[in-house]
Amino acid sequence: MTRQFDMRTILLGVIAVILTGAALHALGAVMIPVVLAFFMALIAAPVDTWVRSKAPASVAWLGEVGAVLAVLAALGIFAGGIAMAAVQATAVFDGLPDGVMHAVQQAATGGEAEETARTAGDALTQQVASQDASNDETPTVFGMPLSEIAGTIGGQAVGMMAGVAKLIVASTGTLITGLVLVVLLMALMLAERGRWQRLMSNELNDRMEGEVEDALAQIAHKLRIFIVTRAALGLVTAGFYGLWLWLFDVDLLLVWMLLAVLLNFIPTIGSIVAGGLPVLYTLVTRDPGTVAIIALGLFALEQFLGNVVDPYVQGKQVSVSPVIVLIGLLVWGWVWGITGTLLATPMTIVVLVVCAHIPATRTFALMLSDMDDVDKLLAHTGVRA
């Protein structure tokens, strides 16, 4: 009877998880700004608290202003990096063959991605073939002329970049509106924080109120550690990548460095993509030997930073199992797309901490973590004895 009850409970839990995921997927347009604002409010709360402690009570609203300005400053630095990378990318594109520029212009005026890739690929193939002819050589890779490989890969890369550029241009207005909405929601959440605390004091007993406060404090603490360490490791990774690529005079250094910082927030997969993109680019512009050296160097850097530096710096503060991190990427990527992959680890941290504070779900929290002892998990997630 107990076994049947346990199986029924497990099946009901699986059904509840699937239905919750489907609901979050359907409500993505509403939930994504709210979740982003909630995370930003937790992360920026120390700025709000510090300003309030220094300012008179009559101007306590300066706390929200300070938090908003801190977030806007971070977004401004990010936007400045994108602008600098875009300028560098434009300068490199100006030096590409006319056929490639024609393909990009086609994409900008509404051309199909496949046609753009084909046109750009033909132009790159002709350029590489003419260079080989002038050098009286026809290099091959696995029996296929390098010019054809370079044209195919380069054409697909141009098609993808043109598609991404079109998407960015088309969604710029929506993105700006979304950021304004998220920052406004964050400011309102910070402004309402005191009232929510008073409501909790009135409606919950002391122990439950303490558990809620501890859970929120732990979530905020782990999110701050996650953001700071990922940003720091991203900057370190970008520095090493940039130095290595600079030694070989690879173009678009700022682009590759910016991508290394951004993609570092997507665990495991992000670092692989960040290292693979410049290798694909050099495959089109450099000889196979140089490409192999660049690829080996980036692979060694990624292995050292990902397997030695990352665990040492981040340590056990986040305490999410690496397997669960990858599963979370798949799950939250399905739920909320690209935004979901960026929010995958923070959302998993929230689920882990909340489940650790609920006695009935502590076994599930232990499965999500990288620990094997419940007492250690409870101490690490701030659960009161």
What pLDDT sits at residue 71? 87
15: in domain: no
What pLDDT sits at residue 1? 44
Nearest to 350 by CA among 220, 224, 228: 220
283: in domain: no
Number of compact structural domains in the chain = 1
218: in domain: no
Q: In tens digits, what is the pLDDT along the chain, a chain of 385 residues?
A: 445 546 777 777 778 878 888 888 888 888 888 888 888 888 888 888 888 888 887 888 888 888 889 888 888 887 777 777 767 666 666 555 555 656 655 655 555 656 666 666 666 666 655 655 565 565 555 555 655 665 566 666 665 666 655 655 555 666 777 888 888 888 888 888 777 777 766 666 666 767 777 788 888 888 888 888 888 888 888 898 889 989 888 877 888 888 888 878 776 677 777 887 788 777 766 777 788 888 898 888 887 877 667 766 655 556 777 778 788 888 888 888 878 888 888 888 888 888 888 887 888 888 888 777 777 877 777 776 5
What Å distances lie between residue 41 and 75, 78, 182, CA to CA?
15, 19, 10
Contact 238, 260 (CB under 8 A): yes
195: in domain: yes
114: in domain: yes
Tokens 């937790």, residue located: 42
User: Exposure of 61 by Cβ count < 10 A (0-12 exposed, 13-18 middle, 19+ buried)?
Assistant: middle
188: in domain: yes
The residue range of the domain holding 160 is 20-203
Burial profile 161-184: b = 16 or more Cβ within 10 angstroms, e = fewer: bbeeebeeeeeeeeeeebbeebbe
265: in domain: no
93: in domain: yes
Element (H, E) at 141: strand 140-141
The Cα 101–Cα 161 span in angstroms is 12
